[in-house]
Chain A
Amino acid sequence: MFASDLLEMLYVGSADGAITALVAIGFSLVYGVGGVTNLAHGAYFMLAGYMLLWILTWGPIFSELIWLSVVIVLVIIAFIGALSYLVLIKPLQNSHINMILITFAFAFFLELIVKEISGTQPEPIDQYKLSDIIVVIGGVSMEVRVLLQIIIGLITVAIFGLFINKSKLGKSIRAVSQDKEAATLMGINSDRILLYTFIIASFLAGFAAYLAIPGANLMGPSMGWNYLTNSMAVVILGGLGSLTGSVVAAFILNYAMSFTLVFIPKGEIWTAIVPMVVIVVMLLVRPRGIFGKKELK
């Protein structure tokens, strides 16, 4: 009984951990490069999930060509990410509080639009399932699509790590995040780099939505905030600017949450508190996170 509970905890935690890692990497990237706390980051995830639903119910052409609709959704979400930087955030870079307020307003705007179109009820979206097969391992029934989700998520993170460490664009992104002025003096256009990071971040959030949502439910337009909170907790726990830190912290956080869900009575209420506790405790005890190098200012 205990072993199967433990296995279920690992299963749920890994599934959520892979998704949270993908979302949190994008959030951490934008925060590290531009100092932008993008409160709309969770909304990208939510919007991508709902766009999958809309495009699916819109016409028969797209439900046949799954890969095409996924590509369209990812392109649109990356475009929205770029647009939100160019139109809203870039002109306000001098004023921190206005920047936060405008991303908050944008997230709220996206949420309300989705709410107006689809309502607040959770919607099942099964059509894009990666696989229908269910296997039973150690007394816990696991869906193959969730296992695939974990594997694909980790592979994506690995590719992203290679990209940020080896490619030229990745190197310039790291340069800007370490020292913006010096990078600008070396001939890197830091505004354009920030634009690219927004595109990458929203793309990753959209991709995470594609992995996580088919087969599960769309939990209403306000679900983006959960992912935003979790990403923030992951960034604080793992340390800013550390890719390994973000991935490890995403799994730690989600194991803690699934532990609460499985082992503690009335766990479904208390799971929401876990990220909050992590944020407050880490900021009070070790503000630079587990893998962080420099102090947060």
Chain B
Amino acid sequence: MSGDTATNNAATVPTDGQTTGGTDYLNCSYGIKSWLLTLDHKRIGVMYLVAILTSFFLGGIFALLVRTELLTPGQTIVDADTYNRMFTLHGAIMIFLFIIPGIPAALGNFILPLQLGAKDVALPRLNLASFHLYLGGAIFLLAAIWLGGVDTGWTFYTPYSTTTNGSVVLVTLGVFILGFSSIFTGLNFIVTIHRMRPAGMGWFGMPLFLWALYATAIIQVLATPVLGITVLLLIAERMLGIGIFDPALGGDPVLFQHFFWFYSHPAVYIMILPAMGVISELISVHSRKRIFGYRMIAFSSIAIAILSFLVWGHHLFVSGQSNLANMVFSALTFSVSIPSAIKVFNWIATLYKGEIRLNAPMLYALAFILLFGIGGLTGLFLGSLATDVHLHDTYFIVAHFHYTMMGSVVIAFLGGLHHWWPKMFGRMYSERWSVIAAALVFVGFNVTFFTQFVMGSKGMPRRYYNYPSEFTIYHVISSIGSYLLAIGFIITAIYLIHSLVKGRKAPANPWGGASLEWQTASPPIHDNFAEEPVLTDPYDFSVNEFDERTGDYLLRPEVKG
């Protein structure tokens, strides 16, 4: 047994002799076992990245099928039942397999220890377990698709979900497992940030990305268990006929909605908070300007994390909950908008007198501010009780949450991916193609979803297979936008993959970032840092200067000491 451990360690943690020779984490060991059983946070991050991009691709295919079906009223390519399964799978895959693990588990796993100047996360085995659980959950979801899919919508509202045909149990079991994967990641990040900050880095010396990941992790650990319990109750009712939610068995169907949103509303902040953290980094680094109002941004992340637990009822304004509950939830909902607004103002103030580099990461960051602005401001219509009654369950909602989820989180994810790509893989991608793709994604996104605000307020309900012909024009425009988006993503995939093979070698610090991950080689060695990094202020860009010869930003000699 001890022999086993020894060989594992040999495969996953290279001995000293191997690493110091400049071998990076990607090629320090070979074979599928050296990846699937690795304890290296960077490899786990890369595996998560591959997995969530695959999920994004799959969810995207379902999105395109849905948009194509909606080109005409009535049947275009599939029947109503197939359509219902497709939008359910689009939602379930995008939410549970892509966007919740997206930034924390892929980018966060890779970057968090590097930004702390640490060798790894605090609990590497838990990290690997989290990835394995993710794969397990994903297998359940894929099995459910294989066995005929599920048609409940990603929200699994009872009593529809306890009475319909389809693989509801498989999907919800998958969600249960994925929940634990998410909890493990969150727990790990909390411990790592508490225990592994280098000497001299106080809480307010951390990059804001870490504040955001910390706030996210709190929500992951506290909210996700509720989801787990909820889906277990759902499974118990469906399989054993125990009456919890179904009124025919003496249950309460609205109770499910309370349980479900008690997790799923905080979950939208699991998605958006790390995205905000990414944006704080991008805006600051690419305008070479100290972030404006550091403390306000840090505190607003924590404020959002706390308030996120108190607003779930705004999903139930028309469900029949009491007026008192509606009043309280409406008021609390508005309170979340304040810290979000503060962040936006701070980012814009950061631009002031900066030196703004309009490359792909920055373009994505600027697009984020625009799209999050629209997503946030349209949220005011929904937080306000009287207007929500009309807009609830229409395309206005669909547009609103796509602006915040896709227009903000996915855009920030892409920005972060382009920002850290050279660090992760040691290669530069084509600057020109990345700008073209970013522009295409931005235009395609707005064509797709801005149209949906209009049709929603005109009376087009969501989750409709068939619709009155007066909405045809909006649906056609929206579908065309989705094809533009798809082209943008395909171009992105092509030049990113191309860069892995043919891309120019990346310097250690191509953007002039001042946080610690830029002080190690690109890609980093297995142990992250060959020599102890020099602790600097993550937002003081005067510590490094551009070196024409290498295209790298080097620490000034006086900083190195």
On whether the two chains bind one another, the answer is no
Interface residues of A (CB under 8 A from B): none
Which residues of B come within 8 Å of A, CB atoms?
A: none
